[in-house]
Amino acid sequence: MAISIESLSVSRGGVNLLQGVDIELENGQAGILRGPNGVGKTTLLRALAGLQPVESGTIKCSLEDICYSGHADGVKPTLTVQENLEFWANIFGSPSIREVAEKFMIIELLNTKVGNLSAGQKRRVGLARLGLTGRQVWLLDEPTVSLDETSVKIFGNIIKDHLSEDGCALIATHIDLGLENSAQIIDLLEFQSNSGDLSSSNEAFL
Amino acid sequence: MIALIFRDLRIAVRAGGGFGLSLAFFFIIVIFFPFAIGPDLHLLSKVAPGTLWVGALLACLLSLERIFALDFEDGTLDLMVTSPLPLEGVVISKAIVHWLTTGLPLVFLTPFLGVLLGLQNSNVIFLIISLIFGTPALSIIGTFGAALTAGMKRGGLLLSILVLPLYIPTLIFGAEAARRGIQGFETQTSILLLSGVTLLSWAILPFAAASVLRINLR
């Protein structure tokens, strides 16, 4: 089992968003989170990544296996693509950035400053970090924002490669990544909480 | 950690990295001071240690906001929290980089600026020693303050208010050490207390800053 979530409840800003979320993903399986804006996709992914506390429920997955990618790319505009990737490669102890750069089609951009890239190219640099982490469980929050059609297709294939290497991915997206046949579609509307404000939440004091 | 230190140093010295800001500020304070006080060398050399110390402290304060704000805005901080790097290590790296780009250059600048304030060459050494022992505390305390205000846009005002009281012990012992040295008294007590404040800050604040950051990232 790559990741298993049981009756998870998460809240944001003192409002309980999702309740009783059950998700189970095997190695080699992808899960796609669907749901309207504000339903709690990002909050759920951040909670799984350990960035925010959960209200209740259990997550069975080691934080060491998780790689989170959010709305922001986390790349520095004044550094070149290569310097950005080398930094993450050093942090995660992965050997070569060239292979990953080739995979994500940014090999010819390596010596360009990130500040001079287009939004889509910058996104690809941000996503290339995934390949450097060597981690099994990818948590992706709207990974395809500002990617063009070809890049989306390529990224879909990268995810498929990752899955075939026994990886696993949980993706919040509105776009068809070409994974829909094999992936588990999770509609978060089912888990939407109706309790509204949390009187027991202590978030206000933190 | 070393990767992070090198990356941040690289960013600091690139265009818009804010490396020169504190230095220029320090420079301006110390240059303008003699103009304002007048050409009385005796008076100037008397207020020199205090001026240089307050100048260093304010220059340090100026660059604190940048420590976490940029990484917070572009999402790097989120990614670092989920990386194998311990958050305490991130805090220490950030403080080291802040010191290397602010505190250390200020120490190097002091001998030259001491001349403007009528300090004799033999006395400048006391200022340098007190700054070397004191400025690391300014960096780590400032990093803690920056962690407290990380989630805030334009948190500079709050940051200054939070950090200034914590700077006071360093300022008192640092300026005292320099003053006593220049007047020919023994400086050991002040230097020891100054180093004590610095060491205590470096021992405790990385943990405090890391847990504050975790809360701010929610």
B53-100 per-position pLDDT tens digit:
999 999 998 888 888 888 888 888 888 888 888 999 999 999 999 999
Phi and psi for B115 in degrees, rounded to 5?
-60, -40
Question: How many other C-beta atoms are found inside a 10 Å radius of the C-beta of residue A21?
Answer: 25
Say what the pLDDT of residue A1 is.
60
Determine the residue among A51, A69, A73, A139 to mutate to test chain B binding: the one whose Cβ has the most chain B Cβ atoms within 10 Å: A51
Nearest to B74 among A67, A72, A87 (CB): A72
* CB-CB under 8 Å, A90 with B78: no
Q: Give the Cα separation of A105 and A98 in Å (integer).
A: 10
% of chain B beyond a pLDDT of 90: 43
pTM: 0.88
pLDDT confidence band for A6 (50 / 70 / 90): confident
pLDDT higher than 70, residue B16 = no
Chain B residues whose CB is inside 8 A of the A51 CB are 78, 81-82, 217-218
Quick check: A16 pLDDT over 50? yes
pLDDT-based confidence at residue A204 (cuts at 50, 70, 90): very low
- The yes-or-no verdict on residue A50 having pLDDT over 70 is yes
CA A61 – CA A66 distance, rounded (Å): 8
Q: Which residue blocks in B63-187 are alpha helix, DSSP H? A: 66-73, 76-81, 87-98, 104-116, 121-148, 156-183
Task: Work out the pLDDT band at B142, boundaries 50, 70, 90.
Answer: very high
Query: Could you tell me the two tokens for A42?
Result: 């990002």
End-to-end Cα, chain B, rounded Å: 23
Amino acid identity, position A28: G
Domain boundaries, chain B: 2-216
pLDDT greater at residue B18 or residue B49:
B49
The one-letter code for the residue type at B194 is: L
Residue B135 has pLDDT above 90, yes or no: yes
Q: Do A64 and B78 touch (CB under 8 A)?
A: no
Q: Name beta bridge partners: A23.
A: A5
